[in-house]
Structure 1
Amino acid sequence: MVATTTTTGEGWSSRTAFILAAVGAAVGLGNIWRFPTLAGESGGGAFVIFYIGCVFLLGLPLVLSEIFIGKVGQTDAIGSIRRVAAQSHVAPSWSIFGAIGAVAAFLIVSFYSVVAGWVLYYAAIMGADLLSAIAAGDPFRGALVGESQEQIQQRLGDMFANPGLLLGVHFLFMGATLYIVARGVSSGIEKAATYLMPMFFVLLVGLVVYGAIEGDIGDAVAFLFTPDWSKLTPQVMNSALGQALFSLSLGVAGLITYGSYIKEGGGLGPTAAMIAIADTSVALLAGLMIFPIVLAVGLDPAAGPTLVFQTLPFAFQAMPAGALFGFLFFVLILVAAITSSISLLEVPTAYGVGERGWSRPKSALIFGGGAFLIGIACLLGYNVWSDVRPLGFWSLFENTDILDTVDGFTGKVMLPVGALLTSIFIGWKADENLLRTTTGLSPWAFNLWRFLLAWLCPLAVATILVTGLFPGILGA
């Protein structure tokens, strides 16, 4: 690290552009895939209601904290925290949680690209199926007609058994992410958010309407919003807490980095609230999109991680216009994935620009290329191969499970540590006058925000950290 931090010199063209980009950063696989998966596994209503509470009591204060740091710092995450620390007359070593966030973002985007590559593959499958339906003169038929449930489910195993395919889709997705980030804030990230986020919301609303008309919306609403409090176990509460952090992309310094590109004045509170509300709304709409379809064809809403890649493709087979809406569904997930991966790669890229003095293209290439290489290790080391292709060279990797290891370490250790240090820094160390003038909060809102950061957030995040490291505490 060089001794002097420099500003990136880039900024959003408007508040709307920042909100679109920040919502795009938060909205990703965590909303469209992980939230419905956890809601299904955790029994629905009780998990959902507790999750919403976590977002607004824990997530929203941390969202505002990260945006505040970036707005004051006007540079990469590490440099921004250092500047806030200097203005608050506390040790510059607090910038450590910016470094933790940057490393976490770098590691997460490496395996995130691998999983997003799976989505890209399925979007291609469903797109080819739609073209086949159109060619046959029946564009509104079900998806993957003629295939049994076993054949549809086997597609996932066939994908894992094809290393060339996995490498190719990983390369394409990471290449697209790197290209957008390398173009800069206004020409790359903002432009992508301006086009992709409206398309995302149109697709999401359209698919929710489709699920409501063709699916079982009544049972889905009951499943998602009728709580069975007996299912709100410590494990479920901990999952909801973790999902609130994961869904809002907290602890990876993404919102600090995006906040540093805010050049205009104005209060930050309403902006942070809009981001939290939009992100939570997307998660709930994802549930209302997926569960009516799953329940309508009698499939299990608690199918777990295979819900998106095995359960839903089979469900679309039985639905009217399933070929069309199955394709649109995977396009929706792909859009969510790319907007999130952009924000993840932007965090280390901004570090290279602000701390190392590199040009943006050079920094994006170094960190994007490094993440791509780690992603290769993740896709080769995924332990599903022990069941799919345990022969020859690939048998060397069959028990390494690198993807799950990196995912577990970042999600259970790095993100909670980053969020914990953020809450302590803003709740206890940051200068109060600086906080008041920059956030523009009313006195009662400011006092509530500072109280939540000083007491509730550290306690809750520490719980996630301890139980993630020692799951036996919850009887897991």
Structure 2
Amino acid sequence: MVSTAGTQSGEQGWSSRSAFILAAVGAAVGLGNIWRFPTLAGESGGGAFVLVYIGFVVLLGLPLVLSEIMLGRAGGEDAIGSVENVARESGVSTRWKGLGALQITSGFLILSFYSVVAGWVINYVYLAGGDFLGAVMSGDVFAGAFAGETQDQITGRMGDLFADPTRLIILHAIFMAATIWIVASGVHDGIEKAATWLMPAFFVLLVIITIYGALTGNFGEAVAFLFTPDFSKLSPVVLNEALGQALFSLSLAAGGLLTYGAYVSKDVNLAPTAGMIAMADTTVAILAGLMIFPIVFAVGLDPAGGPALIFQTLPVAFNEMPAGALVGFVFFILIFFAALTSSISLLEGPTAWVIDKTGWARKKAAIVVGLVAFAIGVTCALGYNVWSEVRPLGFWNIFAETDILDTLDGFTGKIMLPLGALLVALFVGWRADANMVKAQTGLSDGMFLVWRFLVAWAAPIAVSLVLLFGLVPGLLG
């Protein structure tokens, strides 16, 4: 089958290979790189976690990235239609299209709460921007962030935000509106243009703050922490966390890569393209560690600060460092860019399916899908205040104590995404026509055998472990 590059949804495809790479990297690079990777590295002892993480990206993440893009281009439609087309061409049951449906549903649910978290980022962009403006007006551009505030006051800003349902919903609405506007503008005029502008700006800001951390922070201690492996730290829990981060920081099983693949022209060699996407995503994660940990170590903070690292720990660090007001402002803009490029891919998957299924105009489809996701996100925002006692899956021990947002996050991350990645590996490795798959990937005979082995055997085993240990955390004890 020759891909029609998204003709069902009225798109002509990416204008160039570089445009696709930027969009796909944008889909992969998100809060998981800037927030979750440093958090996990800090909690898991640093170097040993990083080494295992990189190994999992190369051996498992990269083969699955290529698999998803290949399915999208071979099928040429939305995620569901593409898998159905490939299954029909391969002479197997079209019920495999269910894996596409699972991916689209996963991405849609993630978008609903991801937008709420991105709203927190907007809040800190506003706070940090006002703080920097105040520093400029006072003539002290090298002032620390939130000058005059105590550590308790700075960390307490997060609690103040959570207690204000109106502000949470407004911030959530602003971010979702920006995402809808970009997707509604189309692949060329919306997604591609956003990626072309946002991703280079993101990398420039990332490098600038990393250099700042190296010059003003404790860069040597950060390097030693990230790249000196202590293998005594490699518990089953750490291995499982590293594997999960490697697979899902690449935006696997969320429908975005599969959908983006449908817009790739047939003359693009997918194998090196997938390699560039995986390499860029991993580079961002490593740079995020080199950006954050020198600052953390310089002011004597705990590298294992957990999820509070970005929104509570680092603002305290910026308060104590030269030009902290400026750097804090730039830092939160960087995170906003990362969040927006990821949310675009999360919305594009279900939007493309609605277009293909209903024939609606892209603008209408993006608005309807985005508004439904927004409504679900509102419940997540209210889960921090008005509905703080609500436990949607309280009957299930692993979700018994989690609020609405954390339950949605945990259910998608521990169950839906691993299951989606597992089904991709099984379908591509065992059911899809091997000749068609080889032609689409562009791999040589030897490399194709290696890749096929990793997809058919290594990935299912590894992802099954992630799925199993996500459901039964007591097994890792």
Specify the alignment match of 2:437 in structure 1: 435
Kept in 1, the 8 Å contact 2:100–2:255? The answer is yes
3-state secondary structure, aligned to 1:266: coil
Specify the alignment match of 1:65 in structure 2: 67
Cα deviation, residue 438, structure 1: 1.3
Distance 2:321 2:160 in 1: 24
Specify the alignment match of 1:7 in structure 2: 8
Listed as ranges, the matches of 1:61-210 within 5 Å are 61-210=63-212
Distance 1:395 1:300 in 2: 28
Cα deviation, residue 357, structure 1: 2.0
Cα deviation, residue 437, structure 1: 1.3
Kept in 2, the 8 Å contact 1:381–1:400? The answer is no
Taking a change above 3 Å as real, the CA distance of residues 395 and 14 of structure 1, as seen in their structure-2 partners, is closer
Distance 1:74 1:188 in 2: 20
Kept in 2, the 8 Å contact 1:76–1:355? The answer is no
Select which of 309, 315, 319 maps to 2:311: 309
3-state secondary structure, aligned to 2:9: coil
Kept in 2, the 8 Å contact 1:269–1:439? The answer is yes
Kept in 1, the 8 Å contact 2:76–2:262? The answer is yes
Distance 1:257 1:417 in 2: 18
Select which of 298, 301, 308 maps to 1:299: 301
Aligned AA (1:9): G
Specify the alignment match of 2:255 in structure 1: 253
Cα deviation, residue 400, structure 1: 6.9
Could you tell which deviates more after superposition, 429-438 or 224-233? Answer: 429-438
Select which of 239, 243, 254 maps to 2:241: 239
Cα deviation, residue 355, structure 1: 2.4
Cα deviation, residue 395, structure 1: 6.1
Aligned AA (1:365): I
Select which of 269, 272, 295 maps to 2:271: 269
3-state secondary structure, aligned to 2:8: coil
Aligned AA (1:8): S
Select which of 338, 352, 363 maps to 1:350: 352
Specify the alignment match of 1:388 in structure 2: none
3-state secondary structure, aligned to 1:7: helix
Specify the alignment match of 1:389 in structure 2: none
Distance 1:96 1:395 in 2: 34
Kept in 1, the 8 Å contact 2:17–2:268? The answer is no
3-state secondary structure, aligned to 1:326: helix
Distance 1:151 1:405 in 2: 29
Specify the alignment match of 2:3 in structure 1: none
Distance 1:371 1:6 in 2: 26
Specify the alignment match of 2:333 in structure 1: 331
3-state secondary structure, aligned to 2:443: coil
Provide, for residues 285-344 of structure 1, a one-character-per-residue CA deviation record: whole Å limited to 9, x for no partner.
000000000000000000100000110000011111111011000000000000000000
3-state secondary structure, aligned to 2:10: coil
Aligned AA (1:227): P
Could you tell which deviates more after superposition, 21-30 or 7-16? Answer: 7-16
Provide, for residues 169-205 of structure 1, a one-character-per-residue CA deviation record: whole Å limited to 9, x for no partner.
0000000001100111001000000000010000000
Taking a change above 3 Å as real, the CA distance of residues 395 and 271 of structure 1, as seen in their structure-2 partners, is closer
Distance 2:76 2:49 in 1: 38
Taking a change above 3 Å as real, the CA distance of residues 296 and 94 of structure 1, as seen in their structure-2 partners, is same
How many residue pairs end up in the alignment?
462
3-state secondary structure, aligned to 1:310: helix
Kept in 2, the 8 Å contact 1:6–1:357? The answer is no
3-state secondary structure, aligned to 2:45: coil
3-state secondary structure, aligned to 2:149: coil
Provide, for residues 340-361 of structure 1, a one-character-per-residue CA deviation record: whole Å limited to 9, x for no partner.
0000011100110122322211
Kept in 2, the 8 Å contact 1:426–1:453? The answer is yes
Specify the alignment match of 1:379 in structure 2: 381
Cα deviation, residue 266, structure 1: 3.1
Give the RMSD, CA atoms, in angstroms: 1.2
Specify the alignment match of 2:232 in structure 1: 230
3-state secondary structure, aligned to 1:279: helix
Distance 1:70 1:8 in 2: 13
What percentage of residue pairs aligned between the two structures are identical? 63
Kept in 1, the 8 Å contact 2:382–2:388? The answer is no
Distance 1:341 1:116 in 2: 9
Distance 2:413 2:365 in 1: 25
Distance 2:268 2:147 in 1: 54
Specify the alignment match of 2:19 in structure 1: 17
Select which of 452, 461, 464 maps to 2:463: 461
Kept in 2, the 8 Å contact 1:6–1:355? The answer is no
Distance 2:450 2:357 in 1: 34
Cα deviation, residue 396, structure 1: 6.0
Aligned AA (1:323): A
Provide, for residues 134-170 of structure 1, a one-character-per-residue CA deviation record: whole Å limited to 9, x for no partner.
0000111111111111110110101111111101100
Kept in 1, the 8 Å contact 2:73–2:266? The answer is no
3-state secondary structure, aligned to 1:308: helix
Aligned AA (1:377): T
Kept in 1, the 8 Å contact 2:79–2:104? The answer is yes
Kept in 2, the 8 Å contact 1:30–1:247? The answer is yes
Distance 1:376 1:295 in 2: 37
**TM-score w.r.t. structure 2 length?**
0.95
Distance 1:154 1:179 in 2: 33
**TM-score w.r.t. structure 1 length?**
0.95
Q: What 5-or-longer segments of structure 1 have no aligned partner?
A: 386-392
Distance 2:130 2:40 in 1: 30
Provide, for residues 416-442 of structure 1, a one-character-per-residue CA deviation record: whole Å limited to 9, x for no partner.
010000001111111111111111111
Kept in 2, the 8 Å contact 1:70–1:257? The answer is yes
3-state secondary structure, aligned to 1:292: helix
Answering whether residue 405 of structure 2 is matched by residue 403 of structure 1, we say yes
Provide, for residues 243-290 of structure 1, a one-character-per-residue CA deviation record: whole Å limited to 9, x for no partner.
112200101121010010112413210000000000000000000000
Taking a change above 3 Å as real, the CA distance of residues 212 and 441 of structure 1, as seen in their structure-2 partners, is same
Answering whether residue 305 of structure 2 is matched by residue 318 of structure 1, we say no
Kept in 1, the 8 Å contact 2:113–2:405? The answer is yes
